[in-house]
């Protein structure tokens, strides 16, 4: 890990950031005590994705971001390569796509009655007054959304079938983030401004922390339900699970101090803590665990959450505009989606949805990204994609990751 000293503050990075991510990291150091950029770092909204910001008695809603508690969950099943034939795989892909809700503003076809909706915060926090947000959240629980959110089925190098998902708190997280960002003084369309912070001991700071944790419960409930539903579709039993999240703020002790650690598109990786890290739609993902090392300490025990983008959606797919809810392409992008589909077929990957803006070419290579973190992690299981289910390329997701 490389370290720059800016006055009495530090900026560390596992892979040199581009200009946009570097500028955002420097802006965050206006309030943060330190910043660390993971190997998958890239420009985000106010704070780089793949960024870790350290605060004393402060919390940063824009740093946590719009998709509060977005996370990755992987479950191991009792199915093996012998039972999961190509024909079974194709039928499972169809049922997953038809049963689960992908896309923007979708309601779950199977409404979920979850204990989290009895939490008194729905009635005590001003943001949720009137019940509209709670009603929306209840309808959306268990939906996947679009963008880089997915449901995948893998074959592990341990010989077993795994299910992996990536999505977060949907409209609940987006509305919660927007509300508290504005209360803190941020422009909701924040790009390169210094993100504002809240005193964790203030009424507003306490409210945000409570709402953030509620969004976290919601995101976990959604991922739990989807993984269970896919296992049901596969006719499988879940024998193990790995569940972790990013886009969150944690109170932790580092270097003998009680600090707030904001990880945006970065994941906790304390010694022996396991994590599921997704790759591109055609490449291998991994189950890893954190290890203890000097670099782990200096990274505040954090690691990547994915491969990290190197190309914008517009650059990949071409310019487009929305007319009456329909996406119309008005420019050619760098990615030929038909070639991606051909490559998927040659690798035996069943693609359901997806598009040029999520093609493998728009991401870094995960083995290289993980290589930057080699002193801080250990790879436990490698997962080869069999089924990849995502929203289609004509879906725009405002619930930003």
Specify if 370 maps to a domain. Answer: yes
- pLDDT tens for 161-214 read 999 999 999 999 999 999 999 999 998 888 888 999 999 999 999 999 999 999
pLDDT per residue as tens digits for the range 92-125 = 999 999 999 997 777 888 889 999 999 999 999 9
Q: What is the pLDDT of residue 398?
A: 46
Mean pLDDT across the stretch 284-293?
Answer: 98
| Burial of 331 (C-beta count, 10 Å sphere; 0-12/13-18/19+) | exposed
CA 111 – CA 109 distance, rounded (Å): 6
- The rounded mean pLDDT for the chain is 94
Instruction: State the pLDDT at residue 328.
Output: 67
DSSP three-state, residue 397: coil
CA distances in angstroms from 396 to 146, 222, 313, 335, 351, listed in the order given: 7, 20, 11, 18, 19
Q: pLDDT above 70 covers what percent of the chain?
A: 95
pLDDT 10s digits, 364-387: 999 999 999 999 999 999 999 999
| Separation CA 291–CA 374 (nearest Å) | 10
- Going from the C-alpha of 146 to that of each of 41, 63, 167, 400, the distances in angstroms are 21, 21, 9, 10
φ/ψ bin of 185: left (φ > 0), alpha (ψ from -120 to 50), beta (otherwise): left
For the CA atoms of 263, 258, 276, 109, the dihedral, rounded to the nearest 10 degrees, stands at -70
What is the pLDDT at residue 329?
65
Number of domains composing the chain = 1
Please write the tens of the pLDDT for every residue from 13-65: 999 999 999 999 999 999 999 999 999 999 999 999 999 999 999 999 999 99
Q: Is residue 398 part of a domain?
A: no
CA distance 239 to 150: 21
Confidence of residue 326 (pLDDT cuts 50, 70, 90): low
| Rounded-to-integer distance, Cα 244 and Cα 381, Å | 16
Q: Assess if residue 397 is contained within a domain.
A: no
Separation CA 374–CA 240 (nearest Å): 25
CATH of the domain at 145: 3.90.1860.10
pLDDT at 397 over 60: no
Cβ partners under 8 Å of residue 77, min gap 6: 160, 161, 162, 163, 231, 234, 236, 237, 238, 239
Q: Is residue 139 helix, strand or coil?
A: helix
Q: What percent of the chain has pLDDT over 90?
A: 86
In a domain, 399, yes or no: no
Q: How confident is the model at residue 400 (pLDDT cuts 50, 70, 90)?
A: very low
> 127: domain range?
2-392
Q: What pLDDT, in 10s, does the model give residues 144-155?
A: 998 899 999 999
Please give the pLDDT value at position 401: 45
Q: Rounded to an integer, what distance in angstroms lies between the CA atom of residue 164 and that of residue 278?
A: 8
């Amino acid at each position: 890990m490389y370290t720059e000293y800016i006055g009495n503050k530090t900026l560390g990075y596992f892979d040199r950031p581009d200009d946009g991510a570097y500028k955002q990291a420097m802006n965050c150091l206006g309030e943060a005590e330190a910043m660390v950029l993971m190997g998958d770092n890239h420009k985000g909204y106010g704070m780089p994705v793949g960024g870790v910001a350290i605060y004393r008695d402060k919390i940063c809603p824009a740093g946590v971001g719009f998709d509060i508690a977005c996370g990755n969950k992987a479950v191991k099943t009792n199915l093996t390569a012998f039972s999961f034939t190509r024909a079974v795989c194709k039928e499972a892909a169809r049922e997953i796509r038809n049963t689960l809700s992908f896309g923007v503003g979708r309601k779950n076809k199977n409404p979920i009655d979850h204990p989290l909706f009895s939490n008194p915060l729905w009635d005590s926090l001003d943001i949720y007054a009137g019940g509209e947000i709670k009603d929306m959240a209840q309808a959306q629980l268990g939906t996947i959304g679009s963008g880089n959110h997915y449901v995948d089925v893998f074959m592990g190098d341990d010989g077993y079938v795994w299910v992996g998902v990536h999505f977060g708190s949907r409209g609940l997280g987006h509305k919660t983030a927007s509300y508290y960002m504005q209360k803190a003084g941020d422009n909701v369309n924040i790009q390169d401004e210094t993100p504002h912070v809240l005193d964790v001991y203030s009424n507003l700071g306490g409210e945000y922390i409570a709402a953030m944790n509620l969004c976290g419960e919601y995101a976990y409930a959604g991922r739990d339900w989807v993984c269970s539903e896919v296992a049901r579709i596969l006719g499988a039993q879940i024998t193990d699970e790995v569940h972790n999240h990013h886009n969150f703020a944690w109170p932790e002790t580092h270097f003998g101090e009680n600090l707030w650690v904001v990880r945006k598109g970065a994941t906790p990786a304390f010694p022996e803590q396991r994590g599921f890290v997704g790759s591109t739609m055609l490449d291998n993902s991994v189950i890893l665990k954190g290890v203890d090392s000097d670099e782990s300490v200096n990274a505040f025990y954090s690691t990547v959450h994915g491969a990290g983008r190197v190309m914008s959606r517009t650059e990949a797919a071409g310019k487009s505009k929305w007319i009456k809810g329909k996406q119309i392409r008005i420019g050619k992008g760098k990615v030929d989606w038909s070639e991606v589909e051909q490559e998927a077929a040659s690798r035996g990957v069943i693609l359901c949805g997806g598009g040029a803006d999520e093609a493998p070419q728009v991401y870094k290579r995960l083995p290289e990204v993980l290589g930057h973190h080699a002193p801080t992690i250990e790879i436990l299981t490698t997962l080869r994609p069999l089924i990849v289910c995502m929203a289609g390329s004509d879906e725009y997701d405002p619930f930003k990751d």
